Chain A
Amino acid sequence: MEVLPGLVALGIVQGLLSALFAAGLVVAHRTHRFLNLAHAGLGLVPGALVGVLIAQGGWSFWIAAPTGIVTGAALGVVAERAVFARLAAAPRLILMVASLGVAQLLAAAQTALPLAVGGIPPTYAVPWSLRIEIFPVVLTAAHALTLIAVPSVLVLLGLFLRTRIGLGAQAVGQNAERARSLGVPAAFVSSAAFAAVGAAAAVAGILAVPVLGYSLEGTPGVAVLLLALAPAAVAGFRDLPLASVAAVGLGVIYQLVLWWGGGARSGTLMLAAVTAVAVALRPPGGDRRERAARSSSWPAAPPGRPTRSPPWIAIVVPALGFALAGSVVLSLGPSDAQLVATGAALALGALSLAVGWALAGELSLATWPAAGVAVVAAASVGGVGRWAAIPIAAATGAAVLSGLGLLVRRRGGLTFAVASLAVGAGLAEIARGGAGRAVAAGWTPAASAIVAMAACAAAAVAVTLLRRTSPGHRLVAARDDARRARAIGIVPARARIVGLGLSGALAGLAGLTYVAAVTIPAPGAFGADRSLDLLAMAVVGGLGSFWGAVAGATALIAARVALDGGWALMGSGVGMLAAVMFFPGGLAAAVDGARRAVKT
């Protein structure tokens, strides 16, 4: 137990850094009503810049650090003006995906910055001669500066929200038309809010380098993401003090688990469990208060798309498309066929996510890890043949996502999405290194590709037809208006679980086809961050459309394949931004618009 004080001290310092990220998420949500996945990037780029200025330029820390903070504020303003303001009237989910694109651009910038000026990792220390040993931790000036600076910045952020500009920004986020009617300069206050968010992120990013070390990966790991997301979710993305305290508490617990639990795997599992339990047990604030906290003049996500074409078209057209694609696949070499198989499996994953949204009204970011768990389950039941694995994987996937729906049954929207990301991180640890190969052994790449494409096409046809049936209508009714659905005898909670189960079953199939395609999945193949990829695919295609999800997956995967490795991140970010900015309704909406224009 003699290590406890040292671990607690370290946990507090790291928790404070997470608190700053969490606070930034809360402020961005209160002023713009979306989950800003680019927030970490807004801090990591200034961190790299400060390192370059010190390591390469010989600047003093005390000059470089303010420069980095100003850069962070400027990055925030640029991101807000160039991307988020242009999507001001779009559903908030589109902004979240756009922030994913911005995050990829920032990650590319963070990686490229040190490489562009010599390739030396931009590490630096805070120039104070301070060293305090609390076994097993050595606290330096950077830790001390964190203890002083972060609480100050948190207080400043809280005060900012109480200022005229802060209140104006929150008003614009909740009801832009009304705010402008009252004379609030929407562009100015929104930019000011993002300047504050960017500056706060920069403080965290600059302090993170000497405290945690410099990472060349560019994107924060799932654990880092969860350490910020989980407290923000616990605080309902609105309560700044609660988010800060929760972040510090979680930071301390994380350090203790890392020490006694045997490493990062235990830490991630703990974060997943704590987040899920905290979100599940958090007392709801009453219907009206919950609605008030969630509401804004913007829709949360694109609406479901009505079906227009007759049923036979929904079968014949995909069948023809599948026949055409299948004949092309047969002429491909093994590596290209494997690429097609992987793409089709990911498209099925994106479809699974879209089904969860369209039929259950929830965004499950545990979709891909659930696919991994399904594969492990199918493989671990001894002696299953190839075809027997299918129902096992589907049933496991369905059970996992339905169970998640039951666990977080009183939460919806963004809170559910974050909880599912946390649970997904835990599931990914379970799926890591799963014996997927046993399930898929013996398939040629072409066979894997055709099976994956067939599964994807059949699943899309099936859910398209299901939505036209009476049970499908009941699911959609429960999703769209739970109160009215209850009035006509539908049990919304049950419908939600069924919708999530259906989504999970498709995820299980996606996992199976993925393993068949890659043969030996990498250890992190079913990571929770992949679910964010699937979300981007579904949104780029048009989240309300099943075929849109497949098209979005195809487009994004093709774009990534076309770009070579070093540029993939930047190309992917630019592509994603271009897609959501110019086609906020997704490819499906663009096709619809073109069809309507031709008709008229």
Chain B
Amino acid sequence: MRRHTRLALARTNVRRGMWWSWFGGGLVWTAVVESSSAFERAWKLSGVPVHVAVALVALSAALAARRAEATPTGGVLAVLGPLVVSGVAPGAVVVAIGLVITAACGGWVVGAVSGSVGELSGASGAVAVRLNLATAVAGALLLPISVLWLSVVATVIVLSGTVSSDTAPSVPTSREAGDTAANRSRAGSVLGASDLAIGFGTRPVLTRASLQLTAGELVVLVGANGSGKSTLLRVLGGHLLPEHGDLQFKGESVLGASPEELARLGVALASGSRPVFPDLAVRDNMAVAGWALGGGRAARQARIGAALAEFPELAPLPGALAGTLSGGEQRLLALAQSLAARPAVLLADEVTLGLSPDPRGRVLSMLRSAADAGAAVMVVEHDLRDVIPLVDRMVRLENGVLHEESTGDSSGEASFIPGAP
């Protein structure tokens, strides 16, 4: 796995277990600082060497956190806390402020380091979370003896391999969409996902989802309500970081890339829910879409104008607030925004929801045209009656895994008609 991919995973796992690691880490960090003060008192040393030593320890931890891309600001602040606490500026209030900084930022640093160590050693996300929990427990129980915390961390890391293999999702035996796509045309893949896993709380949503989208194809993604279709699209769009797996754009790993980075690469996500900026006029909504466009201002405006011209419903409403448009008009506007960028990958999540038959048909035709123009288009739809004739293939998401489905399979089609179980 690429380095930034591992670090991205480490970062998300640190965030996941943040509260525990913050709490325990703060205690551990305070213990370290306290022991430095005790050291100073016991040995009657001048304050300066101790302060320098504490600062160096804090700086090292901050750099470790920085390397893990966790909390650079917290890391820098963590340097200040011990300095204040250890008496650079005396006074109860200053010490109290220092303790707050120490507990908060030091906790972040310790949490970041423990989470990163857990992840980089090959532990799964769940193990990293347990590591953070262990940090908390260790911090609470072993406050004055911080060395023991390290031994706890080491023990958990050693045990993590076993736990990791226990908690790994089972490999599906059925034919998976990613494998099929790989066999068909891995070379032409624009956007690829392999072994994606993500869950919310204790509920897994994607367990090992793999997918290849190639240029010029229109793929429909189907699945029951709550099966994770929107979650998959949000992962592909960079809004959610998976616990496991990789995401590739034109062969390069882009896991951990931000949504705006992916948008500038050419990955556009259009969602049917909350699709626009309600307190901006239609024309301003379109102007915002210009961020993903290259070229000069004139070129951007020309492309935005051309995209808007495809939607006659929106043409007479340039000054209207987007929030005052009907739901269907808002979805059209969202689609116009996404198409303006002429994306390499278009992920459309129920963009036809609530549209009357005419605009719905036109939107589907536009999606087909975008694919014909070379984009890889994936749409989430529930009503497949007029979609099936347009798409190149259908992918079904079930139990967190993607399956290739024949577009001529009427039984499969029927199972995704709204109202069907």
Contact = CB atoms under 8 A, between A and B. Distances in A.
B107 to A, nearest CB: 9
A578 B100 contact: yes
Contact of B280 (A171, A177, A297): A171
Contact of B274 (A82, A297, A567, A574): A297
A291 B278 contact: yes
Contact of B260 (A180, A293, A563): A180
A186 B260 contact: yes
B259 A292 contact: no
B321 A183 contact: no
Contacts of B73: 81-82
A178 B277 contact: yes
Contact of B291 (A182, A291, A578): A182
B271 A167 contact: no
B359 to A, nearest CB: 20
Interface string A161-179: 0001001101100110111
A131 B38 CA distance: 64
A563 B259 contact: no
Interface stretch (B247-255, B282-290, B388-396, B411-419): B282-290
A183 B341 contact: yes
A164 B287 contact: yes
A289 B284 contact: no
A30 interface: yes
A185 interface: yes
Given A171-B288, A574-B97, A185 B280 contact: no
Contacts of B269: 181
A170 B279 contact: yes
Contact of A292 (B19, B22, B279): B279
Contacts of A183: 260, 263-264, 291-292, 341
Nearest to A82: B73
Contacts of A286: 324
Contacts of A582: 22, 104
Contact of A177 (B92, B100, B239): B239
A432 interface: no
A289 B323 contact: yes
B93 A567 contact: yes
Nearest to B278: A292
A174 B292 contact: no
Given A180-B239, A183-B291, A292 B264 contact: no
Query: In terms of DSSP, what is the predominant structure of the interface of chain A?
Result: helix
A174 B277 CA distance: 6
A238 B337 contact: no
Interface in B69-124: 73, 92-93, 96-97, 100, 104
Contacts of B334: 178
Contact of A180 (B258, B321, B338): B258
A175 B97 contact: no
Given A164-B290, A170-B280, A180-B263, A288 B274 contact: no
A83 B92 CA distance: 25
Contact of A289 (B263, B268, B291, B324): B324
B108 to A, nearest CB: 10
Contacts of A291: 278, 323
Interface string A275-298: 000000000001011011101010
Interface string A80-107: 0110000000000000000000000000
Nearest to B269: A181
A268 B97 CA distance: 37
Contacts of A289: 321, 323-324
B237 interface: yes
B263 A182 contact: yes
Nearest to B94: A567
A291 B338 CA distance: 24
B275 interface: yes
B259 A181 contact: yes
A184 interface: yes
B205 interface: no
B260 A174 contact: no
B370 interface: no
A218 interface: no
B339 to A, nearest CB: 12
Interface string B274-310: 1111111000110111111000000000000000000
Nearest to A559: B96
A295 B324 CA distance: 11
Contacts of A181: 237, 239, 259, 263, 268-271, 338
B371 interface: no
A415 to B, nearest CB: 15
A575 interface: yes
Interface string B218-239: 0000000000000000000111
A481 interface: no
A564 interface: yes
Contacts of A170: 277, 279-280, 284
A175 B276 contact: yes
Given A289-B324, A291-B323, A574-B100, A178 B290 contact: no
A575 B99 CA distance: 11
A130 to B, nearest CB: 42
Nearest to B239: A177
Contact of A164 (B100, B237, B271, B291): B291
Interface string A418-446: 00000000000000000000000000000
A571 B98 CA distance: 11
A313 interface: no
A295 B276 CA distance: 11
Nearest to B259: A180
B378 to A, nearest CB: 14
A292 B324 contact: yes
Contact of B323 (A295, A570, A574, A575): A295
Given A180-B263, A183-B260, A238-B279, A571 B93 contact: yes
Query: Which residue, of A178, A179, A184, A600, has the highest number of chain B Cβ atoms within 10 A?
Result: A178
A562 interface: yes
Contacts of B22: 582
A412 interface: no
A571 B257 CA distance: 38
B279 A168 contact: no
29 contacts: A164-B287, A167-B288, A168-B288, A170-B280, A170-B284, A171-B280, A177-B239, A177-B259, A177-B274, A178-B334, A180-B239, A180-B258, A180-B259, A181-B239, A182-B289, A182-B291, A183-B260, A184-B260, A186-B260, A286-B324, A288-B323, A289-B321, A289-B324, A291-B323, A292-B278, A293-B323, A562-B96, A564-B92, A578-B104
Query: Can you list the 6 inter-chain pairs with the closest CB atoms, starting with the nearest?
Result: A292-B323, A183-B292, A183-B263, A180-B259, A567-B93, A183-B291
Given A175-B274, A183-B291, 19 more contacts: A164-B290, A167-B287, A174-B278, A175-B277, A178-B271, A178-B275, A180-B259, A182-B263, A183-B263, A183-B264, A184-B291, A186-B260, A292-B322, A295-B278, A295-B323, A562-B96, A564-B92, A571-B97, A582-B104
